[in-house]
Amino acid sequence: MPPGVLPSHLLNLPADIHFCIIDVLDYVSILNLRATNRYFRYLLSDQQLSSARKHYIRTLVQAESDDWLDNTRFICYECFRWKPWSHFGRKQILKKRSKGHADAYKRFCIDCGIRRPRWQPGQFLKSEGGDIVLCRVCRTLQTTDDAARGRGLCGSCAKISHGQTDSGVAV
C-alpha cells in the first residue's frame, strides 16, 4: 500500500454510510457494533436505541407466536436468546408470559434473573426441574425442599447450618 493511503476501514466511511449500515442491523447486531469502539458506542441516541430494541422485541414476539405449538423452547427477552424450557422458571413460561400472550416480552431466563440481579438471595422459584432457590449461603441456584425453602437455603446448606437461627447464617 502506498504511503499516506489509509487502509480501507469501516471507520473511514462517512457517517451517512454508518447510519445506513445500522438501519439494516437488528438490535443485537447494533449492540455488538456499539461494543467495538467509542465512536459506535455513542453514535445512536438513546431514543434510536430504544426504538431499535422495541422493533426487535416485536419481531421476536411475532416469531414466538408463529412457533406457539412448540413448548420446548422460549425466547429470553433479556439476553434475546432462544433457550430450552428448562432454562426458565415456571412463572416465566406459563399464563401471561407464555408464547403469544400479553406479557411474553417480559420473560427472562434463569441466568438473566441471577445476573441482573432481578433476584435476591433467598428467591424461590418453581421450575420444570423441581423447586429451586437462589441459596442465601452458596449463592447458587439449587434444588430445595420444604424445610429449607422457607429459610432461602438449598438442601445442602440447610443441613450444614442446621441448628443455627436465620440470623446466624452468613448472608
Give the shortest CB-37-to-Zn ion separation in angstroms: 26
| Amino acid code (one letter) for 80 | F
Give dist(CA 82, CA 3) in Å, integer.
48
Give the shortest CB-1-to-Zn ion separation in angstroms: 44
Q: Which of 137, 141, 148, 152 binds Zn ion (CB under 5 A)?
A: 137
Helices (H), 24-128: 27-34, 38-43, 46-65, 90-93, 110-115
Q: Could you tell me which stretch among 10-18, 21-29, 65-73, 130-138 binds Zn ion (CB under 5 A)? A: 130-138
Q: Is 60 in the site for Zn ion (CB under 5 A)?
A: no
Give dist(CA 56, CA 24) in Å, integer.
12
How big is the CA angle at 100 (ends 60 and 22), to the nearest 5 degrees? 15
Nearer to Zn ion, 30 or 107 (CB): 107
Give the shortest CB-143-to-Zn ion separation in angstroms: 10
Q: Could you tell me which stretch among 5-13, 23-31, 55-63, 109-117 binds Zn ion (CB under 5 A)? A: 109-117
Q: Is 78 in the site for Zn ion (CB under 5 A)?
A: yes
Q: Which of 52, 76, 93, 134 binds Zn ion (CB under 5 A)?
A: 76
Q: Is 10 in the site for Zn ion (CB under 5 A)?
A: no
Contacts with Zn ion by CB under 5 A: the residue count is: 10
DSSP string of 131-169, one letter each residue: EEEE-TTT-SEEE--HHHHTTT--HHHHHHTTT--GGGS
Q: What are phi and psi of 165, to 5 degrees?
A: -80, 165
- Where do contacts with Zn ion occur on this chain (CB under 5 A)? 76, 78-79, 109, 112, 135, 137-138, 154, 157
